[in-house]
């Protein structure tokens, strides 16, 4: 069926099967491979993208459910070639190793900071508690998000 969706500001129209998962639509149909899938059961959060204003796990959503709506992926985090503070923070604080969970982590972090510009460590841990990182023990992810909060201007 017909699907029109705006991803990172670009409108796409595609014919898709209703059963197509949003993560596969983004990766295979649109070639936006920055979002990953890691678990199939909405436990790991590698597939987190934003639907309109909130993050969700795109392995557990059908692409057709996004019809007429906006999606934001890691490819849409930077604006006009300028990295989001969260992106700078992850590089600055060694908040990533293999890079597989990183896009989802950064999208959750951005959402947290939009709602809570001065989070505590506990706030950060709760915000990413639905996402698995196998590399960092979360230590430097937490530091990254706190760094982004401190150095948060997009300039």
Partner 1 sequence: MQVPAHVEYDKATSVEHALALLARYAPEARVLAGGHSLIPMMKLRLAQPEVLIDINGLTDLCHINLTGDQLRIGALTRHAQLLDSQLVGEHFAIFRDAERVIADPIVRNWGTVGGSLCQADPSEDLSAAFAAMKGTMVIRGLDGSREVSAREFHTGPYETVVAPAELLVEIRLPVRPGGGSGYLKVARRAGDWPVGAAGAAVWLSGDIIADAGIGLAAVGATHFVAAEAEEYLRGRPATEESLARAGEIAAESCRPVSDQRGPADYKRHLARELTTRVLRVAAARAREANQEGPA
Partner 2 sequence: MTAEQGAHEQAGAYGSLGRKEDARFVRGQGTFVDDIALPGMLYGTILRSPLAHARIRSIDVTAARAHPQVEAVITGADLAERGLAWMPTLAADVQAVLATDKVRFQGQEIAFVVARDRYAARDALELVVVEYEQLPPVIDALAALDPGTPVVRDDLPGRTGNHIFDWTAGDQATTDAVFAAAEVCVGGDMIYPRSHPAPLETCGIVADFDAVAGRLTLWSTTQAPHAHRTLYAMVTGLPEHKIRIVSPDLGGGFGNKVPIYPGYLCAIVAAMVTGRPVKWMEDRSENLMSTTFARDYHMHGEIAATRDGRILGLRARVLADHGAFNATAQPTKYPAGFFHIFTGSYDLQAAFCEVTGVYTNKAPGGVAYSCSFRITEAVYLVERLVDMLARELAMDPAELRMRNLLRPEQFPYTGPTGWQYDSGDYPRALSLALDLAGYDELRRDQAERRERGEYMGIGLSFFTEGVGAGPREHMDILGLGMADGADLRVHPTGKAVLGISVQTQGQGHETTFAQIVAHELGLSPDDVEVVHGDTDRTPFGLGTYGSRSTPVSGAAAVMAARKVRERARIVAAAMLEVAADDLEWADGKWRVRGDPELALGFAEIAMAAHSPLALPAGVEGHLDASAVYNPPNLTFPFGAYICVTDVDPATGEVKVRRFIAVDDCGVRINPMIVEGQVHRGLADGIGMALMQAIVFDSAGNCLSGSFMDYLLPTAMECPSFELGATVTPSPHHPIGAKGIGESATVGSPAAVVNSVIDALAPFGVKHADMPLTPANVWCAIHGRQGRSDLAVQ
Q: Name the site residues for partner 1 (rule: CB under 8 A).
A: 1, 17-19, 21, 24, 40-43, 45, 48, 51, 54-57, 60-62, 64-65, 67, 108, 126-127, 129-131
For partner 2, which is the closer residue by CB, 6 or 138? 138
d(CA 42, CA 48): 9
Segment contacting partner 2 by CB under 8 A, of 23-31, 50-58, 63-71, 147-155 = 23-31
Question: Are 37 and 59 a contacting pair, CB within 8 Å?
Answer: yes
Sign of CA dihedral 59, 29, 36, 90: negative
Segment contacting partner 2 by CB under 8 A, of 61-69, 74-82, 112-120, 147-155 = 74-82
Question: Are 95 and 143 a contacting pair, CB within 8 Å?
Answer: yes
For partner 2, which is the closer residue by CB, 31 or 68? 31
Burial 14-42 (b: 16+ CB within 10 A, else e): eebeeebbbbbbbbeebebebbbbbeeee
* Residue ranges binding partner 2 (CB under 8 A): 17, 19-20, 24, 27-28, 31-41, 43-44, 46, 73-75, 77-78, 83, 87-88, 90-92, 94, 96-103, 106, 121, 124-126, 128-142
């Amino acid at each position: 069926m017909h699907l029109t969706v705006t991803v990172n500001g670009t409108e796409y129209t595609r014919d898709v099967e209703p059963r197509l998962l949003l993560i596969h639509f983004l990766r295979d149909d649109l070639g936006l491979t920055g979002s990953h899938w890691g678990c199939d059961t909405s436990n790991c959060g590698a597939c987190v993208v934003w639907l309109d204003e909130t993050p969700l796990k795109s392995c557990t959503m059908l692409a057709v459910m996004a019809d007429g709506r906006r999606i934001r992926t890691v490819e849409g985090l930077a604006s006009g070639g300028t990295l989001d503070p969260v992106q700078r923070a992850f590089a600055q604080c060694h908040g990533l190793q293999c890079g597989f969970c990183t896009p989802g982590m950064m999208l959750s972090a951005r959402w947290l900071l939009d709602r809570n510009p001065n989070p505590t460590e506990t706030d950060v841990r709760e915000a990413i508690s639905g996402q698995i990182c196998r590399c960092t023990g979360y230590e430097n992810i937490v530091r990254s998000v706190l760094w982004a909060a401190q150095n948060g201007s997009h300039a």
